[in-house]
Structure 1
Amino acid sequence: MREDSLPHLRGRQREWETLDRLLQSVRTGQSQVLVLRGEAGIGKTALLDQLCDRASGCQVARAAGVESEMELAFAGLHLLCAPFLDRLPTLPDPQADALRTVFGLRDGVAPDRFLIGLAVLTLLAKVAEERPLICVIDDAQWLDRASAQALAFVARRLVAESVAMVFAVREPADDKILASLPELTVHGLAPDDARALLEQARPGPLDEQVRDRLVAETRGNPLALLEMPRGLPVEELAGGFGPSRWPEVSAGISPGIEESFRRRIGALPAQTRALLLVAAAEPLGDPLMLWRAADRMGIGPAAADPANADGLMTIRERVVFRHPLVRTVVYRSAQAADRRAAHLALAEATGRDNDPARRAWHLAAAAEGPDEEVAAELERSAGQAQARGGLAAAASFLQRAVALTPDPVRRAERALTAAGASVQAGVFNAALGLLATAEAGPLEDLQRARANLLRAQARYWQTRGSEGPLLLLGAAQALEPLDPGLARKTYLDAWSAALFAGAMTRGTSMAEISSKALACPRPEGPPEAADVLLDGLALAVTGGRDAAAPLLRQAADRFSGDGAATIQEVVRSTAAAVMVWDYEAWATPLARQIRIARESGALSVLPVALDVLAQALCVAGDLRGAALLIAEAGAVTQATGSRIASYARLMLAGARGREAEARTLINVTIAEATAAGQGCAVQYARSATAMLCNGLGRYDEALAAAQRAAADTPELFVADWARIELVEAAARAGRPETARAALDRLRQGAAAAGTDWGLGVATRLRALLSDGSDADRLYREAIERLAPTPVRPELARAHLLYGEWLRRAGHRVAARDHLRQALELFGEMRMDAFAERARRELATAGERVRRRRVDAFDELTAQEAEIAQLAVAGRSNPEIGAQLFLSPRTVEWHLRKVFMKLGVSSRRELAGALNATGRTAESA
């Protein structure tokens, strides 16, 4: 595109070419995302204006962050979505209800913040079905956090929706929320373009030296070039006399631009300045709200005329400032008393019943000092703020209430409450500051104990490191004489933190935590499921599996049948289920809770639950299903920006036996987890290494890895899994005594549990260490026990070991039968290393075996495979999108790629293709 076709964008050929390509892509059905970065006045808003002007055939939605309302949740998102709210009935009910709640259109509990992002994605995709949609978000550095998170979520999930999202961000800015999105940095104009713009904007004589100095000091910033000369005497511009008093331009808000706007605003009549201030404090751009507030201040309509004549602000369908920087300068340059008056007028104009939360926020901004009445209203509004913006919004209201509370006792209690909300919202630094405020006031012993607990939680959840167990243990001990019930919950938190830190736990140990937890008195009345779980886990560490098995089994059963348990509680209870070798109690309640979480939109709790269920599928040999759950968990963590280590990915890599892929993952995990003090991840990685090497037949290496994994937190189930590998590796490496020692400990836990899973594995390993008729009998018993269980890899390994033993004993015909069954099972499960081991053994037994043919399904990506299986399971595109955080349009786009790769043209043919390769939708 030629530069002369862009009369308002001199020197912006490169930037406009990028935006023009963006427009062309959106018009052809591709989604686009771009973040424009640059200092204030550099031309980002002008580029956005030009984009909107030239978006013919497209719909345009605009929003802008406003500094004064950064703490009001979803204010920016509401601006962007307001024109499309009539489409809410077309969204899935959970998504529509989530948006109605956060936009104040209905009452309800706080929806998951990522459900809100998914709802916005679906809404924008619906709008774009009519015409391509361009979403423009200016001053994104001042978006409230909730809006920024939702919009970043949408931006990262766009694929084929005909939606473009263009953000403008002021530099320097700490906007990690938008990190990793495509960027374009907008620099100052080149000297020739800067001079031409200055001459075009400033008719009349202009001294060449003055012009060059303006160009140099503004560094080509267009707004500075246009604004700084305004109001300067003619002689300074024409003759070069006295320009030394001009301020230099710095990064961020240019003092020169700010001073220019301040001069222009200061020259306006007092009522006009007051009207501008009210408009700056009211970010919705609602003319009716502006005039209601102005009326309360005695400001008439004529006050708008001078601002309109000077081009600073126009009032039509919306209130619009000439440039976002004008709003900033108006608000920042006003006297504190004037700002308070503007906010008070806006609070009165809002009304108590219209929007209580916004009214309370304006009242807080209008307060001259501590004010209990306003603090109480903020506290009451925190609930509504939470419903609309989650815990972070509630924490902001409570934090403001703390600042306005005059009574020291009430102030300390409110600070504790605000700190609790901040911890739950993940705003840890704010929480620590509020705790310091609380502890500076008069606290009772229980309040101080609560403060210790919140500090421990904040510090642990910030790092998930090795010092967390000690912090939580100290908090539990402080709570014990004051609130035994809360103390026991904290002991369970400390135990879980020690599980996570594993052998790297500092300052305490799982044994110490368990001993102190068992000594803590229970509250009166029947024990809750969490109490039984704590006692069972603690006793397993201090007294062994024999003593703990009844409690562990009871806890697993309680959580399996307790429909009121939360997904977090069920995830925690799976440790008990695995310790008693109860597969159903492990997988079934988790699958139920995940289904509920998906349906309700509780997305933030899904990744850990999905990972734990994926571990269960690995143990069951459903590696394809495990990979799909891992991919889903990855989609959540990618969309939410969270970092959660995937233990299931390690298990999957060890079971698949693809060495290069597994080694890379294992090595990276061990390095990162060691640096972070996350010992459990290291233990999982070593256990996976042992399984990988056993599959490859590298028994010495498998033994070394298994011994280290079994020694790390040996009381836990991961150590049991490592002992399975240890016994086989030691037996094959000629270390029978080492194998027997590990088997003795494994048998003890399996016997206490009494399930076919545990007893079948223990019997298989006993057979491995036996001879003659004893070995033959034990192998048969192991196969008989394992055959009806869901744990197919253990059955396949029993057939493999029995077949290897039979071949070595000279029973080649019988050996081939078991080796053939092992090969078939390993092949179906895609346990490639073990399958190759079975194939080699079968060939040695005298049978010619073809290598497995790679089927077309293996060409699909994890996401394509998951979409394919969900489609075969009968899920609609909207249902698949809701589960995978995609728009229905993107689901359709992926399905077309799946059809092409598999050579089918319909869902019915897709079902046949999956069945032909042995892939069903059951695990999805």
Structure 2
Amino acid sequence: MVAETNGTLLAPREEPALPELDVGAVVIARAIAVLGADAPVWAVAELARMPVPDLLAGLDDLVARGLVANRFPLSLKSPEVRAALLAETPIGARIQAHLDAAHLLRGAGAGPEKVAEQLQQAGPAGVPWAAETLRAAAAQARGRGAPELATAYLRQALAERLDPAERAAVLSELAGIRAETDAPGAIAMLLDELPWAGTAEELQAIVGPLRRLLIAGGRHDEVPWMFDSAQERLAESDPVGAARLQLSRAAVQARLASGVASIEVTKGWLDERVKREPQLAVPLLALRASLATLTGADATKAVRSARAVLAEADPRVDFDLCWHALFALSVFGEPAAADAACLRVRRELAGHADEWDLVELDILRARAFRRKGDLRAAISLLSGLLPRLEGQVNRPLVASVVSSLAEAMVPAGAGESASALLQAHRSPDGHEPSPYGLLARGLVLSAGGQTAAAARDHLECGRQLTGWRADNPELIRWRPAAIGALLRLDRPADAVRLAEENYERAQACHSSAALGFAQYVLAGTRPLRERPVLLTEAVERSQAAGHLLDEAFAHYELGKALRSTSGEQSAHHHLLRAVTLAEECGARPLAERARALAGPSASAGRTRGLTPQEWKIAQLATDGRSNPEIAKELFLARRTVEFHLSGVYRKLAISGRRELTQLMRGRRP
């Protein structure tokens, strides 16, 4: 005898003795047993294949014998009675009865779980619509908080006859449910399925969630192996599917600026096959763009390849293909165009991407903002990502957002906040940060006056990157940061060596913007008389590229150099331009330094936008008058004075009286 719990036959139990029944009564009782508790009369009649009047007469006899409960809808007296009736039914007849019940309930519009209960009792029987119903039942069970039951439905769906696309979808859903309650179990299940997957659809359904689970579980080292294992299964039978898997693997490594050697192997594999498989041309272009971005090989070709990829790829199908292209544009492309491309892909992905993919796109947008010099936009975007990542277990993704945000906060004058941010997101296992994290930490340390520690972080960042051959001067600007620290540590020889290396790398990548910034960096290590020529070219190149903050720094250093070599008048224009650009970028410390060198006239352009009344109030506030005193002198209400001062602060992009005093000192109407 077998006992029943939640519709599933589980464990042996004592069977009650059933009374002798005529054939009609047995048929009715078995129909109720098959349908389970609360069976409607019409369904029992259909399954028993008898008219309703005959059924009702038979029911009264079963009630009198104590087998059926005297109530409606119909139920057997106890689970033990049900189990005994089903156990006495031959296996073939029992399976057929459950299949008939499933057909009957489905045709009547019963809920997916009701139908799925019958399919579970019947077992996999090749019913064409079984998998679809079981998946719908799993979604319903998951929605009402029954993940174990949802898992059981999907496991049965996997046992049905499925085409590769259906099987891939079921695997993905099953992994998602298992991951919610048992991530190690979900990983083990997917790893077990990996050797049996024979198509690109099945493999993608496995490696997508498996990649996320491995990363979330801190098992990053297994991700490349997983992609390699999957790719080997498709290398000959489905080269395009194999290429997609390899692009996903390359994207994981490129995000960490590692894996140049393995990406080159994949590129070689694609180079060999592209003539025989023209479909591989676009994946090859994507990989070339990404590889050039990592190594700093050729910016022009990288941008051209990236644009060609985005013109062909569908982000909903080939997200990693698009990511490689956007990665190249965010580093080498024109910043506004890179941002527009990221937004277009984001729109096309609406409803087809998970949170991780969307965050990856926003990180690339923030990089484009940072290259343009729009610190406010970069900080706003990245700050908005952190709440979205709360509770996320993708530590590399969180670390990428945190390091990018800290890097943007330092030139904006928020070094203390950046330090607190890095402190709050330290690796719990004590691991050293990625190269991006080392750069950010070094910048924060430098801003806090810890120059020696900053130099160590920048040089360690460079050691890792050059060891991986990811030495693009525009990707991670570790050399300029290290040079600044080395000069402050009175190590000019080391600074000169790095500046010359940086200039050579910029020349090699054929990027005018990179070359302009390299000239700015190199100028800082040259004798004073040599600096104006380098800095003038740096200004021109940065301006042409639309890199406003780079241009601001170059104007500032050029103004300083000209003050020492050509006098105040020739320097003044560049210092004023540095003030304007730095304020536009949100680089407050640079703006303040440039304003201090430019003198009182640096404030003229800003204060011209004030109304006469605002000017009077601003001047009185600068002289130390309180709001009530200003109100009394100008015969105004105190609230009117406060209103006008708020307008002054807004127009001058300052936060209060202290900054107003600094700005207005020496100015008269």
The TM-score bracket by the shorter chain reads 0.5 to 0.7
Residues 1:437 and 1:596: Cα distance change in structure 2 (over 3 Å): closer
Give the residue type in structure 2 aligned to 1:839. Answer: E
Partner of 1:554: 304
- The answer to whether the 8 A contact 2:299-2:509 is kept is yes
Query: How many angstroms apart in 2 are the aligned matches of 1:332 and 1:654?
Result: 71
Q: Deviations over 1:688-709 (max 9, x none)?
A: 2333355566544433222222
Residues 1:511 and 1:674: Cα distance change in structure 2 (over 3 Å): farther
The answer to whether 1:622 aligns with 2:377 is: no
Tell me by how many angstroms 1:820 deviates. 4.2
Residues 1:345 and 1:780: Cα distance change in structure 2 (over 3 Å): same
Query: How many angstroms apart in 1 are the aligned matches of 2:172 and 2:121?
Result: 26
Tell me by how many angstroms 1:670 deviates. 4.6
1:724 corresponds, among 456, 470, 480, to 480
Partner of 1:480: 235
Report the structure number with the largest CA radius of gyration: 2
Q: Deviations over 1:290-341 (max 9, x none)?
A: 45434435676989x99xxxxx99989xx9x9xxxxxxx9699956948989
Residues 1:716 and 1:455: Cα distance change in structure 2 (over 3 Å): farther
- The answer to whether the 8 A contact 2:559-2:572 is kept is yes
Partner of 1:691: 443
Q: Deviations over 1:449-494 (max 9, x none)?
A: 9988877665532132133224323443454344332332222222
- The answer to whether the 8 A contact 1:419-1:431 is kept is no
Residues 1:642 and 1:381: Cα distance change in structure 2 (over 3 Å): farther
1:801 corresponds, among 557, 560, 567, to 557
Query: How many angstroms apart in 2 are the aligned matches of 1:634 and 1:461?
Result: 19
Residues 1:806 and 1:550: Cα distance change in structure 2 (over 3 Å): closer
Give the residue type in structure 1 aligned to 2:547. Answer: V
2:315 corresponds, among 565, 575, 578, to 565
- The answer to whether the 8 A contact 2:330-2:365 is kept is no
The answer to whether 1:662 aligns with 2:412 is: no
1:153-232 → structure 2 map (5 Å cutoff): none
Give the residue type in structure 2 aligned to 1:606. Answer: L
Residues 1:648 and 1:420: Cα distance change in structure 2 (over 3 Å): closer
**1:770 partner SS:** coil
Give the number of the structure with larger relative contact order, counting CA–CA contacts within 8 Å between residues 6 or more apart.
Answer: 1
1:18-97 → structure 2 map (5 Å cutoff): none
Partner of 2:12: none
The answer to whether 1:350 aligns with 2:100 is: no
2:459 corresponds, among 707, 716, 720, to 707
2:296 corresponds, among 506, 529, 545, to 545
Query: How many angstroms apart in 2 are the aligned matches of 1:528 and 1:607?
Result: 28
| TM-score, scaled to structure 2 | 0.65
The answer to whether 1:365 aligns with 2:101 is: no
Query: How many angstroms apart in 2 are the aligned matches of 1:501 and 1:685?
Result: 10
Query: How many angstroms apart in 1 are the aligned matches of 2:226 and 2:354?
Result: 28
1:123-522 → structure 2 map (5 Å cutoff): 278=35, 290-297=40-47, 337=86, 344=99, 347-352=102-107, 354=109, 361-367=116-122, 369-371=123-125, 373-374=126-127, 376-379=128-131, 399-404=155-160, 418-419=170-171, 422=174, 427=179, 429-430=185-186, 432-433=188-189, 436=192, 447=198, 459-464=210-215, 465-477=220-232, 479-500=234-255, 509-520=259-270, 521-522=272-273
Tell me by how many angstroms 1:776 deviates. 0.6
Residues 1:789 and 1:353: Cα distance change in structure 2 (over 3 Å): farther
Q: What are the ranges of 5 or more consecutive residues in structure 2 without an aligned counterpart?
A: 9-15, 17-24, 49-54, 64-68, 88-93, 607-641, 655-669
Give the residue type in structure 2 aligned to 1:497. Answer: V
Give the residue type in structure 1 aligned to 2:314. Answer: A
Residues 1:594 and 1:816: Cα distance change in structure 2 (over 3 Å): same
Partner of 1:611: 363
Tell me by how many angstroms 1:438 deviates. 7.8
Q: Deviations over 1:364-419 (max 9, x none)?
A: 2231x442x23x433455787899999999997663133356xxxx8999877744
Query: How many angstroms apart in 1 are the aligned matches of 2:648 and 2:392?
Result: 34
The answer to whether 1:591 aligns with 2:347 is: no
Q: Deviations over 1:267-297 (max 9, x none)?
A: xx998998699575xxxxxx9x945434435
**1:780 partner SS:** helix
Partner of 1:767: 523
Give the residue type in structure 2 aligned to 1:364. Answer: L
Q: What are the ranges of 5 or more consecutive residues in structure 1 without an aligned counterpart?
A: 1-65, 70-262, 264-268, 281-286, 307-311, 322-328, 504-508, 854-902, 905-911, 920-924
The answer to whether 1:778 aligns with 2:534 is: yes
1:739 corresponds, among 486, 491, 495, to 495
Residues 1:424 and 1:821: Cα distance change in structure 2 (over 3 Å): farther
1:861-880 → structure 2 map (5 Å cutoff): none
**1:447 partner SS:** coil
**1:712 partner SS:** helix
Residues 1:551 and 1:689: Cα distance change in structure 2 (over 3 Å): same
Aligned-CA RMSD value: 5.4
- The answer to whether the 8 A contact 2:406-2:440 is kept is yes
Partner of 2:547: 791
Residues 1:390 and 1:526: Cα distance change in structure 2 (over 3 Å): farther
Give the residue type in structure 2 aligned to 1:447. Answer: G
Give the residue type in structure 2 aligned to 1:532. Answer: L
Residues 1:823 and 1:685: Cα distance change in structure 2 (over 3 Å): farther
**2:241 partner SS:** helix
Query: How many angstroms apart in 2 are the aligned matches of 1:725 and 1:336?
Result: 80
Tell me by how many angstroms 1:830 deviates. 3.3
Partner of 1:254: none
Query: How many angstroms apart in 1 are the aligned matches of 2:301 and 2:81?
Result: 63
Give the residue type in structure 1 aligned to 2:536. Answer: R
Query: How many angstroms apart in 2 are the aligned matches of 1:707 and 1:313?
Result: 84
- The answer to whether the 8 A contact 2:112-2:137 is kept is yes
Partner of 2:596: 843
Query: How many angstroms apart in 2 are the aligned matches of 1:354 and 1:668?
Result: 54
Query: How many angstroms apart in 2 are the aligned matches of 1:336 and 1:768?
Result: 92
Tell me by how many angstroms 1:564 deviates. 3.1
Residues 1:377 and 1:596: Cα distance change in structure 2 (over 3 Å): closer
Give the residue type in structure 2 aligned to 1:515. Answer: V
Partner of 1:529: 282
Q: Deviations over 1:503-523 (max 9, x none)?
A: 6xxxxx531442354234334
- The answer to whether the 8 A contact 1:727-1:742 is kept is yes
Residues 1:342 and 1:581: Cα distance change in structure 2 (over 3 Å): same
| TM-score, scaled to structure 1 | 0.49
Give the residue type in structure 2 aligned to 1:487. Answer: A
Residues 1:551 and 1:357: Cα distance change in structure 2 (over 3 Å): farther
Partner of 2:385: 633
- The answer to whether the 8 A contact 1:581-1:750 is kept is no
Tell me by how many angstroms 1:684 deviates. 1.6
Tell me by how many angstroms 1:558 deviates. 1.7
Give the residue type in structure 2 aligned to 1:461. Answer: R
Query: How many angstroms apart in 2 are the aligned matches of 1:738 and 1:332?
Result: 88
**1:556 partner SS:** helix
Tell me by how many angstroms 1:807 deviates. 4.6
